[in-house]
Structure 1
Amino acid sequence: MSAAQNLLKFAWLEVTGLCNEFCDHCYADSSPKGTHGTMTVPDWKNTIDQLSAMGARDVQFIGGEPTLYPHLRELIEHAHGTGLEIEVFSNLTHIRNELWETFAERGVKLATSYYSDSAEDHDAMTQLRGSHKRTRANVEKALSLNIPLRGGVVAVREGQRVQEAARDLTALGVGTVGGDRTRAFGRAVREPRRPSLTCAATAPMRSAPSGRRGTCGPASWDGSSPSAMCGKRRSARSGAAREWPR
């Protein structure tokens, strides 16, 4: 494998464990009781600088709900200044006006999860009343502002209206709609399983609020070892919710 093939291309930046939703299938075990961790703004900026120096092309801010992190705008500005492409993975229920401005001005792409065309069903997944209405309205707002947005429909329960959810997003004008299944991390774990730790040299890096880092995809950290299913390089612009880059 050549040096060029070994370059890190993409990284998730998990800036917070705080989330206003409480999805049963959350890989990160995020919740309204989550925190922003021990990473400071200078720590995150240093991480971004290191990623840029390593040749990374894209970063995705995740959580938790990254829009609840008070310094997200500052980190977006910093990442933009290094030349990185930026995506924010959000439930789209809590977007402040100043964030909309930053998204539009800095060419930020958005990604979101959508569970059903039915508000009742979607809200049952997120355990947040009114989340479907707010997410759907902000999908429309992002598109009206010409902010690139992709949607992912995660299959969580039997009988879930996943096809209808995908069609609803498409009808709204979302150009890229992917699908995914629940992965056995975080609250989605139903029974003990042995983690896979066979990481590819080209796997993306994940940096968490605690400052711990790994070369695996979205993971639930257990002591010193990440319990993760590792991903090959995949595009940050393609496919399903919080999809692993290829």
Structure 2
Amino acid sequence: MDNALNPSEKTSPKNYLSIPQYARELGLSRIAVYKKVKNGQLPAKKVGRHYVIFFEIKEAGRPSSRPEKVIQKEGYVSISEYAEQRGISRFTVHQRIRKGRIQAVKCGRNYMVSAKETVKKTTRPFKSVKNIKKVKDLTSISEYSRRIGLDRAHIYSQVKSGQIEGKKVGRNYILAKQTVGSKASAETITGRYIGIPQFAKILGISRIALYKQVKKGVIKGRKVGRNYVIAVEDIRLSFGDETARQVQKEVSDE
């Protein structure tokens, strides 16, 4: 888990200012300060879409501009850049910052994430697999319709009406291949798997990021028809019992 900010870090005097803060302190307009930054008169660094002006805190309390080589050593990234690197949404990053799980500092109205956070591991990765294994005891509506020669819409309507027993995993219905029509069998088999959208919600990452990790083999997934599912047992081995219990509760509540 990411380390929370220390109280001393939150209360220590800042050695950086946003353009609006700098403008208020010196009694200048923000446009004038922005032009000085663009012209190179003020040493500043761009973090995401915004500029940050760094200072050296003197004993008298009056800041003086810092050289560029010191600015480059600060090592901050914006929320957008951090979210893109981690494959998660900006909203998720912002939430983790507010909870103290990601080390960040506030400059003006914007947060900057410490570059140290970009090298931390948030979870234990799955062992890489070369090939995605297909689940032999499950079938999708598409596969079942091809096997018996019926239209997918017809199979779907039968599943919805209860004529064919299936279980919803994520946004898709899964059928037990061996005993289609047996509710107990379908629930027993599909209760061992979770869909990508559901698991992404539990992990707090985007579905696209999770899908890419499954495709690359970073996370062990299994293909059912055209969709991927993740086994609860694989989640337990790689993420621990607590995450596995959350997943098991999610699939049981459906």
Which structure is richer in relative contact order (CA contacts within 8 A, separation 6 or more)? 1
Flag the structure with higher helix content.
2
User: Which TM-score band (shorter chain)?
Assistant: under 0.3
Structure label with greater radius of gyration: 2
- Alignment TM-score, normalising by the size of structure 1: 0.21
- Alignment TM-score, normalising by the size of structure 2: 0.21
